[in-house]
Structure 1
Amino acid sequence: MKHIFLIFFTITILLHVSALEKRKCFLSSKFQVRVANNLPPYTEPIYLHCASGDDDLGRHKLERNQEFHWSFCERVIGGTTLFFCHIWWITRDGSKEKAFDAFYAKWAERCDTGMCFWVARSDGIYFTKDNSKNSLTKMFNWEVSHASN
Structure 2
Amino acid sequence: MSCRMKTTNILLLFILAVALYTTFILFKQHFYFYNGSYDVRIINGFSNNSSLPLVVWCVSGERGDIGGRALQERDDYGWMVTTTGLFWSSSRFVCTMKWDGKRKRFEAFQASRDRYRCGVLRQCFWLVKEDGFYFSNDGVQWIKDFPWM
Give the TM-score normalised by the residue count of structure 1. 0.68
Distance 1:109 1:54 in 2: 21
Show the counterpart of 2:94. 84
Show the counterpart of 2:76. 67
Match of 1:54 among 62, 65, 83: 62
Show the counterpart of 2:124. 116
Show the counterpart of 1:97. 103
Show the counterpart of 1:37. 44
Distance 1:75 1:89 in 2: 34
Unaligned runs of 5+ in 1: 1-26, 144-149
Deviation >3 Å, runs of 4+: none
Decide which moves more: 106-115 or 69-78: 69-78
Percent sequence identity over aligned pairs = 30
Aligned-residue offset at 1:79: 5.1
Query: How many residue pairs align between the two structures?
Result: 111
Decide which moves more: 69-78 or 58-67: 69-78
Unaligned runs of 5+ in 2: 1-33
Does the C-alpha gap of structure 1 residues 68 and 86 become closer, same or farther in structure 2, counting only changes over 3 Å?
Answer: same
Distance 1:106 1:48 in 2: 23
Give the TM-score normalised by the residue count of structure 2. 0.68
Cα RMSD, aligned residues only: 1.8
